Amino acid sequence: MKPNDPLHAALTKVRSVEPTPELEARMLKALVEAEEQENSAKQELRRRRSPWFSHLRLSLPALASMAIAAHLVLLDPSSSEETFETFVEHRIDMPEQGHAALPIALSLAQHNAKFASVRMDLPHGIKVSPASRVLHTGEPSCHQAGCVYEFMHPTTATPPLEVHVEKPGMYRVEVEHASESKRLREIIVVHASR
Protein backbone atom coordinates (compact mmCIF):
# COMPACT_ATOMS: atom_id res chain seq x y z
CA MET A 1 0.00 0.00 0.00
CA LYS A 2 1.19 3.44 -0.88
CA PRO A 3 0.79 6.35 1.55
CA ASN A 4 -1.26 8.25 -1.07
CA ASP A 5 -3.65 5.36 -1.47
CA PRO A 6 -7.23 6.09 -0.23
CA LEU A 7 -7.40 2.67 1.48
CA HIS A 8 -4.25 3.41 3.45
CA ALA A 9 -5.68 6.77 4.51
CA ALA A 10 -8.96 5.13 5.64
CA LEU A 11 -7.14 2.46 7.68
CA THR A 12 -4.99 5.11 9.35
CA LYS A 13 -8.12 7.09 10.23
CA VAL A 14 -9.83 3.95 11.68
CA ARG A 15 -6.77 3.20 13.82
CA SER A 16 -6.92 6.63 15.37
CA VAL A 17 -10.60 6.33 16.35
CA GLU A 18 -11.11 5.62 20.06
CA PRO A 19 -14.01 3.29 21.05
CA THR A 20 -16.90 4.88 22.85
CA PRO A 21 -17.56 3.93 26.47
CA GLU A 22 -20.78 2.20 25.37
CA LEU A 23 -18.84 0.02 22.88
CA GLU A 24 -16.29 -0.88 25.57
CA ALA A 25 -19.11 -1.81 27.98
CA ARG A 26 -20.87 -3.95 25.33
CA MET A 27 -17.59 -5.73 24.45
CA LEU A 28 -16.80 -6.46 28.12
CA LYS A 29 -20.34 -7.69 28.68
CA ALA A 30 -20.09 -9.96 25.59
CA LEU A 31 -16.75 -11.38 26.80
CA VAL A 32 -18.18 -12.09 30.28
CA GLU A 33 -21.26 -13.78 28.77
CA ALA A 34 -19.11 -15.89 26.44
CA GLU A 35 -16.95 -17.01 29.38
CA GLU A 36 -20.04 -17.86 31.48
CA GLN A 37 -21.51 -19.88 28.59
CA GLU A 38 -18.25 -21.77 28.18
CA ASN A 39 -18.09 -22.53 31.92
CA SER A 40 -21.74 -23.63 32.05
CA ALA A 41 -21.16 -25.86 28.98
CA LYS A 42 -18.19 -27.49 30.74
CA GLN A 43 -20.24 -27.98 33.91
CA GLU A 44 -23.09 -29.49 31.91
CA LEU A 45 -20.66 -31.87 30.20
CA ARG A 46 -19.22 -32.89 33.59
CA ARG A 47 -22.73 -33.35 34.97
CA ARG A 48 -23.69 -35.57 32.02
CA ARG A 49 -20.46 -37.55 32.20
CA SER A 50 -20.54 -38.13 35.93
CA PRO A 51 -23.56 -40.45 35.99
CA TRP A 52 -22.16 -42.27 32.96
CA PHE A 53 -18.84 -42.97 34.67
CA SER A 54 -20.43 -43.85 38.00
CA HIS A 55 -22.85 -46.11 36.14
CA LEU A 56 -19.91 -47.66 34.31
CA ARG A 57 -18.07 -48.21 37.59
CA LEU A 58 -21.15 -49.89 39.02
CA SER A 59 -21.56 -51.93 35.85
CA LEU A 60 -18.06 -53.43 35.79
CA PRO A 61 -18.81 -56.00 38.53
CA ALA A 62 -22.08 -56.79 36.78
CA LEU A 63 -20.24 -57.26 33.49
CA ALA A 64 -17.73 -59.55 35.17
CA SER A 65 -20.56 -61.59 36.67
CA MET A 66 -22.21 -61.84 33.27
CA ALA A 67 -18.93 -63.00 31.70
CA ILE A 68 -18.54 -65.72 34.35
CA ALA A 69 -22.17 -66.79 33.89
CA ALA A 70 -21.72 -66.92 30.11
CA HIS A 71 -18.57 -68.99 30.55
CA LEU A 72 -20.42 -71.43 32.80
CA VAL A 73 -23.34 -71.65 30.39
CA LEU A 74 -20.98 -72.32 27.51
CA LEU A 75 -19.26 -74.99 29.57
CA ASP A 76 -22.55 -76.33 30.90
CA PRO A 77 -22.32 -80.09 30.58
CA SER A 78 -26.06 -80.38 29.99
CA SER A 79 -25.71 -78.49 26.70
CA SER A 80 -24.53 -80.57 23.75
CA GLU A 81 -21.89 -82.83 25.25
CA GLU A 82 -22.16 -85.97 27.30
CA THR A 83 -20.82 -85.80 30.85
CA PHE A 84 -19.49 -88.65 32.92
CA GLU A 85 -18.07 -88.68 36.42
CA THR A 86 -15.80 -91.28 38.00
CA PHE A 87 -14.32 -91.66 41.46
CA VAL A 88 -11.02 -93.45 42.19
CA GLU A 89 -9.03 -93.91 45.42
CA HIS A 90 -5.30 -94.64 45.63
CA ARG A 91 -3.19 -95.58 48.63
CA ILE A 92 0.56 -95.08 48.52
CA ASP A 93 3.39 -95.55 50.99
CA MET A 94 5.73 -92.58 51.28
CA PRO A 95 9.50 -93.16 51.48
CA GLU A 96 11.34 -91.89 54.55
CA GLN A 97 12.96 -89.13 52.47
CA GLY A 98 11.58 -87.30 49.42
CA HIS A 99 8.30 -87.62 47.57
CA ALA A 100 6.25 -90.50 46.22
CA ALA A 101 5.26 -90.75 42.55
CA LEU A 102 1.85 -92.09 41.59
CA PRO A 103 0.90 -92.71 37.93
CA ILE A 104 -2.69 -91.68 37.18
CA ALA A 105 -4.43 -93.16 34.16
CA LEU A 106 -7.19 -90.82 33.10
CA SER A 107 -10.09 -91.99 30.92
CA LEU A 108 -8.83 -90.00 27.95
CA ALA A 109 -9.42 -92.85 25.47
CA GLN A 110 -13.18 -92.24 25.73
CA HIS A 111 -12.83 -89.06 23.65
CA ASN A 112 -13.30 -89.21 19.87
CA ALA A 113 -10.68 -86.50 19.29
CA LYS A 114 -6.88 -86.71 19.12
CA PHE A 115 -6.46 -84.34 22.07
CA ALA A 116 -8.55 -83.49 25.11
CA SER A 117 -8.43 -80.31 27.15
CA VAL A 118 -7.42 -81.28 30.70
CA ARG A 119 -7.92 -79.19 33.84
CA MET A 120 -6.47 -80.55 37.09
CA ASP A 121 -7.18 -78.92 40.44
CA LEU A 122 -4.57 -80.13 42.93
CA PRO A 123 -4.25 -79.19 46.60
CA HIS A 124 -0.93 -77.95 47.96
CA GLY A 125 1.44 -80.83 48.75
CA ILE A 126 0.88 -82.63 45.46
CA LYS A 127 2.10 -81.75 41.95
CA VAL A 128 1.49 -83.15 38.49
CA SER A 129 4.21 -84.22 36.10
CA PRO A 130 2.56 -84.43 32.66
CA ALA A 131 3.84 -86.82 30.01
CA SER A 132 6.26 -85.47 27.41
CA ARG A 133 3.57 -85.42 24.68
CA VAL A 134 1.41 -82.98 26.61
CA LEU A 135 0.87 -79.59 25.00
CA HIS A 136 1.29 -77.07 27.82
CA THR A 137 -0.87 -73.95 27.83
CA GLY A 138 1.01 -72.12 30.56
CA GLU A 139 2.09 -72.12 34.16
CA PRO A 140 -0.25 -73.43 36.84
CA SER A 141 -2.61 -70.95 38.42
CA CYS A 142 -2.12 -71.20 42.18
CA HIS A 143 -4.52 -70.01 44.87
CA GLN A 144 -4.91 -70.42 48.62
CA ALA A 145 -6.13 -74.04 48.45
CA GLY A 146 -3.87 -75.36 45.67
CA CYS A 147 -2.93 -75.05 42.00
CA VAL A 148 -4.84 -75.50 38.75
CA TYR A 149 -3.03 -77.04 35.80
CA GLU A 150 -4.50 -76.73 32.30
CA PHE A 151 -3.10 -78.45 29.23
CA MET A 152 -3.96 -80.42 26.11
CA HIS A 153 -3.27 -84.15 26.39
CA PRO A 154 -3.32 -86.80 23.64
CA THR A 155 -6.20 -89.26 23.96
CA THR A 156 -4.24 -92.17 22.49
CA ALA A 157 -2.33 -94.65 24.65
CA THR A 158 0.50 -92.62 26.13
CA PRO A 159 2.46 -92.73 29.36
CA PRO A 160 0.04 -91.75 32.13
CA LEU A 161 0.24 -88.55 34.06
CA GLU A 162 2.20 -88.77 37.27
CA VAL A 163 1.51 -86.94 40.51
CA HIS A 164 4.21 -86.37 43.08
CA VAL A 165 3.09 -86.42 46.70
CA GLU A 166 5.41 -84.40 48.92
CA LYS A 167 4.17 -85.38 52.40
CA PRO A 168 1.73 -87.81 54.03
CA GLY A 169 -1.95 -86.92 54.02
CA MET A 170 -5.18 -87.26 52.10
CA TYR A 171 -5.40 -85.34 48.82
CA ARG A 172 -8.45 -84.81 46.62
CA VAL A 173 -7.56 -84.22 42.96
CA GLU A 174 -10.32 -83.00 40.67
CA VAL A 175 -9.78 -83.55 36.96
CA GLU A 176 -11.97 -82.46 34.07
CA HIS A 177 -11.15 -83.36 30.49
CA ALA A 178 -13.25 -82.43 27.52
CA SER A 179 -13.42 -82.72 23.77
CA GLU A 180 -16.06 -81.50 21.33
CA SER A 181 -18.42 -84.40 22.06
CA LYS A 182 -17.71 -85.44 25.63
CA ARG A 183 -16.81 -84.07 29.04
CA LEU A 184 -15.51 -86.29 31.82
CA ARG A 185 -14.97 -85.44 35.46
CA GLU A 186 -12.75 -87.63 37.56
CA ILE A 187 -12.23 -87.32 41.29
CA ILE A 188 -9.09 -88.99 42.54
CA VAL A 189 -8.43 -89.33 46.25
CA VAL A 190 -4.87 -90.13 47.27
CA HIS A 191 -4.10 -91.49 50.75
CA ALA A 192 -0.36 -91.13 51.39
CA SER A 193 1.18 -92.53 54.56
CA ARG A 194 4.61 -93.47 55.95
The model's pLDDT over 154-170, given as tens digits with 9 standing for 90+, comes to: 887 666 788 899 989 99
> Do residues 33 and 41 make contact, with C-beta atoms less than 8 angstroms apart?
no
pLDDT score recorded for residue 74:
60
DSSP 31: H
> Do residues 115 and 152 make contact, with C-beta atoms less than 8 angstroms apart?
yes
- What is the rounded CA–CA span in Å between residue 129 and residue 101? 9
Task: State whether residue 127 is helix, strand or coil.
Answer: strand
Architecture of the domain made up of 82-193:
Sandwich (2.60)
Domain positions in the chain = 9-74, 82-193
Q: Which of 3-7, 36-40, 140-144 has the least mean pLDDT?
A: 3-7
On the question of pLDDT at 61 being above 70, the answer is no
Task: State whether residue 104 is helix, strand or coil.
Answer: strand
Of 1-10, 79-88, 107-116, which one has max mean pLDDT? Answer: 107-116
Give the distance from CA 102 to its chain's centroid: 34
pLDDT in tens, 113-127: 888 888 889 999 888
